[in-house]
Amino acid sequence: MKEASKFLDSVAAESPAPIRIEGGPSQDTLSVRPFASTSIIRPYEFTLKSRQNHFSPFKKPPRVGPPRDEARQRDYFHQLNLNPVDYACHPGVLNHFMSPMGKINSRSITSLTRKSQRRLGKAIRRSKKMGIMPTFSLRRQQGAIPSTYAGAM
């Protein structure tokens, strides 16, 4: 028992030395966490995967809209001093701010100011409730041939 504790103390005292993995996909140097002399070691902790330092970077940037100044430069409603609610009866204008499934695009996609985005959502919802725009899909343009039938002609 004393030999095991001496061994663990010596392993814990050593600084984590980088080890090189031969045949790995990137041939990178990895840093490995040392064992703590006061902790209980479980069998899976002897594997290399459990001893590596895990750094989990953010996979995606946060989904927020652009900053205020940038949004003011890109927002046509703000630049022309227009209210999107006034365009509730014009589905051609509102279609540009919707996904193919009929959902309202977020600020990160539309690049509108917060105020214009709120008003745009109100206009789209009003248009759907009045029956001007379809509820579950985008409005088809008059005379357009669907892409599924375009190859058959």
pLDDT in tens, 82-95: 999 999 999 999 99
pTM of the predicted structure, to 2 decimals: 0.54
DSSP characters over 112-139: --HHHHHHHHHHHHHHHHHTSS-SSSPP
Domain ranges of the chain: 68-130
Mean pLDDT check: name the lowest of 26-35, 40-49, 140-149.
140-149
Domain 68-130 belongs in CATH node 4.10.640: yes
Beta strand ranges found along 1-153 (DSSP E): 19-20, 29-30
Mean pLDDT check: name the lowest of 37-41, 45-49, 139-143.
139-143
Q: From CA 147, how far away is CA 144, in angstroms rounded?
A: 9
Q: From CA 108, how far away is CA 106, in angstroms rounded?
A: 5
Q: From CA 119, how far away is CA 149, in angstroms rounded?
A: 37
Judged by DSSP in three states, 29 sits in strand
Within 8 A by CB and 6+ apart from 114, the residues are 65, 71, 107
